[in-house]
Amino acid sequence: MKNLIKNAIHGLILGSAMIAGCENPPAGIQVSNTYVGIQNLSRPTSVTSTNAVCDPFGTSQVSDQVSGLWGKVFYWDPWWDPVTQTACTTARQGPNYIQGYIDQGTMMDVELFLNQLNVPTRPFNQGFVTQDGTQLLTPKGDTLYEYFALQLETVLKLSYSDSPGYYQFGILADDGAVLYIDEQNNGNFAKIVDDDGTHPTRMGCAPRAIYFDQNTRIPARINYYQGPRYHIASMLMWRKVDSATASLSEVQCGQEGNSMYFDSTVTPSKAQPAYLAMLSRGWHVLNPSNYLLPDGLDKNPCTQSCFTDSFQQPSWNTFVLSKDNPDPQSVKVKVNGVLVQGIYDSTLNAVYVPSYQPGQGNVEIGFCVLPVVPPAPAPTPVPGACFTDSFANSASNVFMLTNTNPDATTIVVTLNGLVTAGNYDPNSNSVTVPTYSRGSGTVIINYCQPASVPPPSSGGGSGGGGSSPPVVGV
């Protein structure tokens, strides 16, 4: 597993303001209403390796492969002097604004995926764990659960149950959070909710409403940071209003307090009157169906288990994968870090890399495993139709059945109400009753036709035989 925190770049400062020695950072900065920060984070076209962190706050299940939020995690080290590249004897106070954590922090080697932003006020001490179970650690070896920032990207939309109209956004956050949107889809993001700063859970509200209909897709960026432990909160909310000029007055805007909205002393956190009153006024948390992954990401790897197989200076060009049943479309091959073409062979469960020469370098193959589909249960037999034939004072002890193809094991014969023996002859479709004498009473024969088994469903299958192996990579 890669080193998740690059100690060598502790001193990297991407902003213009540099922290002098182990002194505390400035109290705040002026930030414009346009989006600032790491300029256009490079989104991977596909994340198939084990460095994906899936919903670290555990708020909901992955809804589908194209929904959710993607982002990066930044760590700000209070025990490191970025100027002298030495440890501080006492911890520095963290910046009290998001941009400080992003500009002065270290971007960690993980890809973060969330299903929604719905984290009520609660303690946070479990940190971040990648798909393969690796815990993200600080340079001191501690679990990362404080002094971090998240830079998230998504596309906002209505779900099928949301009605078109104007919506006002709001954020409940501890510590700071800021929402930027690209309302015109032209790459220019403008700040719409500013809830920045170090504070307990506080409600930040948008000063204007945004129109949505079922065709609206608005790219959005949400920045969030957590300063000193322990409480966190991050809830992106909205409410529908009557029009663009409707009053957006909300009594809770700007109000803060760790116990104001939720009681975090119980698990799960319990909603308090202030939050419940907001719900009654139309506010609600955006659902997973309101988020799409940003453009350029083909799928959410958290819908599958993903792995990376590494081969150091191999002397062959066919590589057997470590896991069975990979999704061929997810396979990505890199030679010395460069994406190359590979051909997946399902018979060998291996990837052939035509361009690789023995000893040429290191090979990495990332892939996701398809979920195991349990075998279809055996079809349940459908019971056959059942009948009753009655014969009174017959002159013969051979009785012809009125319906053909009976199941002989179901035939029951009664003579004057008492069960008696009967012999079925399939050739004549008749039952002989040895105990019956001419005119000796009433014979009743009950029987059923055989149960039928419905044909198996056709299923998807893998197509006709003789198809070429799937080409993977570029």
Same-domain status, 317 and 332: yes
Same-domain status, 273 and 325: no
Tell me the three state secondary structure of residue 378: coil
CB-based contacts of 128, cutoff 8 Å, min separation 6: 53, 56, 73, 110, 112, 135, 136, 144
Neighbours of 393 (CB within 10 A): 10
Mean pLDDT is lowest, of 207-221, 235-249, 363-377, 407-421, for 363-377
Strands of the 305-311 sheet, one edge to the other: 305-311, 363-369, 332-335, 338-340
d(Cα 472, Cα 474) in Å, to the nearest integer?
7
For residue 6, pLDDT over 50 is answered with no
In a domain, 88, yes or no: yes
Q: Are 399 and 430 in contact (CB under 8 A)?
A: yes
Neighbours of 79 (CB within 10 A): 16
Q: Are 470 and 341 in contact (CB under 8 A)?
A: no
Hey, what amino acid is at 225? Y
Q: Give the CA distances from residue 409 to residues 112, 246, 442, in Å, rounded to whole numbers and listed in that order.
A: 63, 77, 22
CB-based contacts of 191, cutoff 8 Å, min separation 6: 33, 34, 35, 178, 179, 180
Mean pLDDT is lowest, of 29-38, 204-213, 289-298, for 29-38
Mean pLDDT is lowest, of 118-127, 148-157, 373-382, 388-397, for 373-382
Handedness of CA 12, 16, 21, 27 (dihedral sign): negative
Q: What backbone phi and psi angles, to 5 degrees, belong to 102?
A: -75, -45
Residues in the chain: 474
Mean pLDDT of 162-166: 96
**Of residues 425 and 140, which shows the higher confidence score?**
425
Average pLDDT, the chain: 81
Phi-psi category of residue 40: left, alpha or beta, with phi > 0 → left and psi -120 to 50 → alpha: left
Nearest residue to 206 via CA among 197, 219, 193, 191: 193
Number of domains making up the chain: 3
Q: What does the pLDDT read at residue 472?
A: 55
Q: What does the pLDDT read at residue 21?
A: 53
For residue 371, pLDDT over 60 is answered with yes
Same-domain status, 158 and 202: yes
d(Cα 470, Cα 251) in Å, to the nearest integer?
59
- Residue 361 domain boundaries: 307-373
Same-domain status, 214 and 358: no
Report CA Rg, the chain.
34
Hey, what amino acid is at 27? A
Neighbours of 94 (CB within 10 A): 25
* Residue listed under structure tokens 């129109």: 211
Give the side-chain half-sphere CA count within 13 A for 19. Answer: 32
**Of residues 133 and 27, which shows the higher confidence score?**
133
Same-domain status, 326 and 339: yes
* Residue listed under structure tokens 């040895």: 434
> Which helix or strand (DSSP H or E) is residue 73 part of?
strand 69-75
- The structure tokens listed for 69 are 């939020």
Hey, what amino acid is at 20? A
Query: How far is CA 473 from its chain centroid?
Result: 24
Same-domain status, 82 and 228: yes
- The structure tokens listed for 84 are 């002298």
Same-domain status, 347 and 428: no
In a domain, 458, yes or no: no
- Band of residue 17 on the pLDDT scale cut at 50, 70, 90: very low
For residue 139, pLDDT over 80 is answered with no
Same-domain status, 276 and 407: no
- Band of residue 456 on the pLDDT scale cut at 50, 70, 90: low
Same-domain status, 319 and 287: no
In a domain, 467, yes or no: no
In a domain, 108, yes or no: yes
Prior bond of 35 cis (ω within 30°): no
Highest average pLDDT, of 7-21, 336-350, 374-388, comes from 336-350
Same-domain status, 18 and 64: yes
Same-domain status, 416 and 430: yes
In a domain, 471, yes or no: no
Largest CA distance in the chain: 118
In a domain, 462, yes or no: no
Query: How far is CA 338 from its chain centroid?
Result: 28
- The structure tokens listed for 361 are 């370098």
d(Cα 424, Cα 422) in Å, to the nearest integer?
7
Q: What does the pLDDT read at residue 220?
A: 97
Q: What does the pLDDT read at residue 378?
A: 67
In a domain, 199, yes or no: yes
Q: Are 120 and 200 in contact (CB under 8 A)?
A: no
CB-based contacts of 276, cutoff 8 Å, min separation 6: none
Neighbours of 396 (CB within 10 A): 12
Instruction: Among 318, 344, 373, identify where a domain stops.
Output: 373
Instruction: Among 373, 401, 424, identify where a domain stops.
Output: 373
Same-domain status, 275 and 347: no
Hey, what amino acid is at 187? G
Mean pLDDT is lowest, of 85-99, 156-170, 220-234, 371-385, for 371-385
In a domain, 380, yes or no: no
For residue 351, pLDDT over 70 is answered with yes
Q: Are 261 and 120 in contact (CB under 8 A)?
A: yes
